[in-house]
Structure 1
Amino acid sequence: MNTVIAFVVIFGALVFFHELGHLVFAKRAGILCREFAIGFGPKVFSFKKDETVYTIRLLPIGGFVRMAGEDPETIELKPGFNVGLILNESDQVTKIILNNKDKFPNARLIEVENADVEKKMFISGYEQDEKLETFTVNEKAVFVVDGVETQIAPYNRQFGSKTLGQRTLAIIAGPAMNFVLAFVIFLLLGLLQGSPVNEALLGKIVENSPAQEAGLKQGDRIETIDGVSVTTWKDVVTIIREHPQEELAFTINRNGESFESVITPDKAPGEEGYGVIGVYGPVEKNVLSSFKYGFTETYFWTKEIIIGLGKLITGQFNIDMLSGPVGIYSATDQVAQTGVYNLMRWGAILSINLGIINMLPLPALDGGRLMFFAVEAVRGKPIDRQKEGLVHFVGFAFLMLLMLFVTWNDIQRIFM
């Protein structure tokens, strides 16, 4: 049960902050955002605030922000439609009722002659065979179908009406928020757990370890190992790792006094079998070092994940080793058993991974959208929206097939 909670929290945080980046910058650009969703598939929970419906959906495989103009509008007024109009005090249309008009006794019933609720913002029609009348449509007017209200999307509120820079920011903000989230998590780890210091000092001592049996204490400074002077933690680790199950003579300085101690490193489990004495590295807790730790860890894992992707592309990394939601759940289960700090670190690494994957120039991903923007910048005009939509649809279908493939691999690895 703890693993389920941990997985839901990590997945929810990663998707939430990613989509929040899209939402915030889209709204700042004036784009109408119809839905902010975590997950895909059937709705589990939803509520509406201002113009946006916030939903949690059943399938934990991502999320989305549905912006006006990205997909064709589902409701279109055509000549001959019989609709009801609700007007405000300024005689502007605020509601366009398409059916069940008898439930709105105050509505003015007209047969539509012409309408433009995107650019010119008007509806003209005949009311009970009288003369043609034209009504101005309010920018926040809504269609009412079966009692459900859907806000209209004037062109100036649609994604495609915005400048290339505004659209680029709205898209790139999603992956960028994943890197920000990772940085914040590493920063918190630095504040709570401490950030590493590259000095030859002992950190926390593991119980029943060779270091504890030798009487070493946290804060002791190592001066030499087998006569070799050491000044950094990296020096200490290197020598110990190279001498599993071999006696090593340590010169220790404690509170200004030096003494000798002989320690035999244990052999770590696994094929490599390097030496360990059961000591954590030294750490310090302050805001400045924690900020530095946040940046360095985010950079380190970004570099490592990009290197891993490079190996996948060049064939040095087997695609069968990729993991989907099932594999991530299994890994989260293992990490959760090692403590909350490691779980936080795991969440930060997954956040960086999500940010990088979404920046790949593949259809249906944010990187694919940015690729089309780059083409638009070069040719001076956007690519036909229907053609771009078809490419993204095919890309999304391919990603779903890949998701099924890696999920099946995960199940085989874990349960078979």
Structure 2
Amino acid sequence: MEMVQTVLLVVLVFFVIVSIHEWGHFFFAKRAGILVREFAIGFGPKLFSVKKGETRYTLRLIPAGGFVRMAGEDPEIVEVQPGQTIAVRLAGDQVTRIYLDRLEERTDVIRGEVETIDLERSLEIVMDVEGVRESYKVHPQAFMVSKGRDTQIAPLDRQFGSKTVGQRALAIFAGPFMNFVLAFVLFMVYIQMVGVPIDPPDKVMIGQIIEGRPAADANLEVGDEIQSINGEAIGGDYERMIALIGASADKLMQWTVLRDGQPINVEITPILDPEAGEGKVGISPSFPMRSASVGETISYAGKAMKNMTELILQGLKKLVLGDFVLDDLGGPVRTAEVTGQIAKQGIAQLTSWTAILSLYLGIFNLLPFPALDGSRLIFIGLEAVRGRPIDPNRESMVHFIGFAMLMLLMLAVTYNDILRLVRG
């Protein structure tokens, strides 16, 4: 039962951070009047699909992100050429369906040979119907039907490329921005859950025990209050505790901890950390907490955003400079594994971790790498400077290559994650 609950929580975390990102794109695209054809979570084959209004909402197999497909971003409908025979269905005096195949099976339609057709500007079809030249107005939400697939037409004013630079930039930036908003809100929720440290602290407790270190083999537990080390009272002096441990590498130490109101004596020998040049026992501290005020909640959430942003940027810098090995990278498998481990620690820790993932997703998507939102914003910026857009075909090719490279990297790290799990 616990395993099922953990899996559901992992799925929920991924769903929330990806959905809020894509919702940002979706909401501001709709506000700009852009036709949004699909709102997708995941990539690859469809697992679930439902259409509501003009948009199809899909859940796809590969949980590596999502996308919002806007009209005009890619080739979308089959072009109709003059001389081609088609069938149209009218509602009132406007065309609502344009059929390109299986014409003999269509009922209540008008068949004819196309003379001219414009589905973007004038929304008009001129056909030769049994030797008579007929002109029909096309409804702005008419559908093109071909090979069993209905595709809504997109008049020019409903296409992504027809909107102003500002509207398009906002629709693209809104995805990462919503991740930042979610991260900030979740950090505030976390702070309300756990509170803020009492300053100055009156005691030091064990917040985490690292596996494979001396503390894991000693009779210590998370939540123990460290009262004294080698007979010296610690109180809330965390720095003194660190100094005593650091000076006692490979030396037996006598600790007294308070657990459930009872003092317990513990023997522990710190090991030498070669990098730090001092002793370590493998614990992280925790301090007495109190409820946070509204102002403190906002302030601490802002500090958490700042600190985590700096750490994320440091990691991305190593990635760009090539200062890493493949084992340093983690794909969806490792992220899901870590998320599952944190979910077992409680809802508070999972909330904090979800905030970090959301912040990371927002920052990562703003990188100027092809196929990411940052790259698309650069193309929009170049258009603003040049006064004219980049060739759409060239831009599409750049994004396609970037997407392919990201997928290859994703496959590599996922393969490495699976090997690591198999090897234990």
Alpha-carbon deviation of 1:107?
A: 1.6
Does structure 1 residue 108 correspond to structure 2 residue 110? Answer: yes
Does structure 1 residue 22 correspond to structure 2 residue 25? Answer: yes
Indicate which of 42, 66, 69 corresponds to 1:66.
Answer: 69
Counterpart of 1:120 in structure 2 is 122
Counterpart of 1:301 in structure 2 is 308
Q: For 2:172, what is the secondary structure of its paired residue?
A: helix
2:64 alignment partner AA: I
Tell whether the 8 Å contact from 2:71 to 2:158 is kept in structure 1 after alignment.
yes
Counterpart of 2:341 in structure 1 is 334
Alpha-carbon deviation of 1:11?
A: 1.2
Counterpart of 1:405 in structure 2 is 412
Q: Any gaps of 5 or more consecutive residues in structure 2?
A: 208-218, 246-251, 258-262, 274-278
1:110 alignment partner AA: G
Task: Sort the Cα spacing of 1:268 and 1:195 in 2 relative to 1 into closer, same or farther, 3 A.
Answer: farther
Alpha-carbon deviation of 1:116?
A: 0.6
Alpha-carbon deviation of 1:205?
A: 8.1
Q: Distance in 2 between matches of 1:270 and 1:115?
A: 79
2:100 alignment partner AA: L
Kindly report which structure 2 residues correspond to 1:358-377, keeping only aligned pairs within 5 A, or say none: 358-377=365-384
Alpha-carbon deviation of 1:156?
A: 0.8
The superposition leaves residues 141-164 of structure 1 with CA deviations (integer Å, 9 ceiling, x where unpaired) of 111235542110111111110111
> 113-122 or 374-383, which moves further after superposition?
374-383
Indicate which of 43, 54, 66 corresponds to 1:51.
Answer: 54
Kindly report which structure 2 residues correspond to 1:5-404, keeping only aligned pairs within 5 A, or say none: 5-89=8-92, 91-102=93-104, 104-130=106-132, 132-202=133-203, 236-244=237-245, 271=273, 273-274=280-281, 279-404=286-411
1:332 alignment partner AA: T
Q: Distance in 2 between matches of 1:267 and 1:341?
A: 32
Q: For 1:242, what is the secondary structure of its paired residue?
A: helix
Tell whether the 8 Å contact from 1:44 to 1:57 is kept in structure 2 after alignment.
yes
The superposition leaves residues 6-59 of structure 1 with CA deviations (integer Å, 9 ceiling, x where unpaired) of 221111111111111110111111111100000111111111111000000111
Q: For 2:280, what is the secondary structure of its paired residue?
A: coil
The superposition leaves residues 43-81 of structure 1 with CA deviations (integer Å, 9 ceiling, x where unpaired) of 111111110000001111111111111001232121122
The superposition leaves residues 351-396 of structure 1 with CA deviations (integer Å, 9 ceiling, x where unpaired) of 1111111111010111111121222222221110001111111111
Task: Sort the Cα spacing of 1:77 and 1:280 in 2 relative to 1 into closer, same or farther, 3 A.
Answer: same
1:391 alignment partner AA: V
Tell whether the 8 Å contact from 1:323 to 1:410 is kept in structure 2 after alignment.
yes
Q: For 1:285, what is the secondary structure of its paired residue?
A: coil
Task: Sort the Cα spacing of 1:268 and 1:341 in 2 relative to 1 into closer, same or farther, 3 A.
Answer: farther
Tell whether the 8 Å contact from 1:265 to 1:276 is kept in structure 2 after alignment.
no
The superposition leaves residues 266-307 of structure 1 with CA deviations (integer Å, 9 ceiling, x where unpaired) of 678995625869753423233332222222212211111012
Alpha-carbon deviation of 1:209?
A: 5.8
Q: Distance in 2 between matches of 1:301 and 1:277?
A: 18
Alpha-carbon deviation of 1:133?
A: 1.5
Q: Any gaps of 5 or more consecutive residues in structure 1?
A: 217-224, 251-260
Q: For 2:120, what is the secondary structure of its paired residue?
A: coil
TM-score normalised to the size of structure 1? 0.84
Task: Sort the Cα spacing of 1:143 and 1:315 in 2 relative to 1 into closer, same or farther, 3 A.
Answer: closer
Alpha-carbon deviation of 1:248?
A: 9.2
Please give the root-mean-square deviation of Cα atoms over the aligned residues, in Å: 3.2
Q: For 2:244, what is the secondary structure of its paired residue?
A: coil
Task: Sort the Cα spacing of 1:331 and 1:269 in 2 relative to 1 into closer, same or farther, 3 A.
Answer: farther
1:360 alignment partner AA: L
The superposition leaves residues 95-154 of structure 1 with CA deviations (integer Å, 9 ceiling, x where unpaired) of 212233455432222211110101121100111222x11111111111123554211011
Tell whether the 8 Å contact from 1:33 to 1:67 is kept in structure 2 after alignment.
yes
Task: Sort the Cα spacing of 1:384 and 1:6 in 2 relative to 1 into closer, same or farther, 3 A.
Answer: same
Tell whether the 8 Å contact from 2:203 to 2:225 is kept in structure 1 after alignment.
no
> 64-73 or 140-149, which moves further after superposition?
140-149
> 167-176 or 238-247, which moves further after superposition?
238-247
> 381-390 or 261-270, which moves further after superposition?
261-270
1:11 alignment partner AA: F
2:394 alignment partner AA: K
Q: How many residues align?
A: 391
Tell whether the 8 Å contact from 1:81 to 1:112 is kept in structure 2 after alignment.
yes
Alpha-carbon deviation of 1:180?
A: 1.1
Tell whether the 8 Å contact from 2:184 to 2:301 is kept in structure 1 after alignment.
yes
2:125 alignment partner AA: I
1:95 alignment partner AA: R
Q: Distance in 2 between matches of 1:402 and 1:186?
A: 30
Task: Sort the Cα spacing of 1:195 and 1:392 in 2 relative to 1 into closer, same or farther, 3 A.
Answer: same
Alpha-carbon deviation of 1:86?
A: 2.0
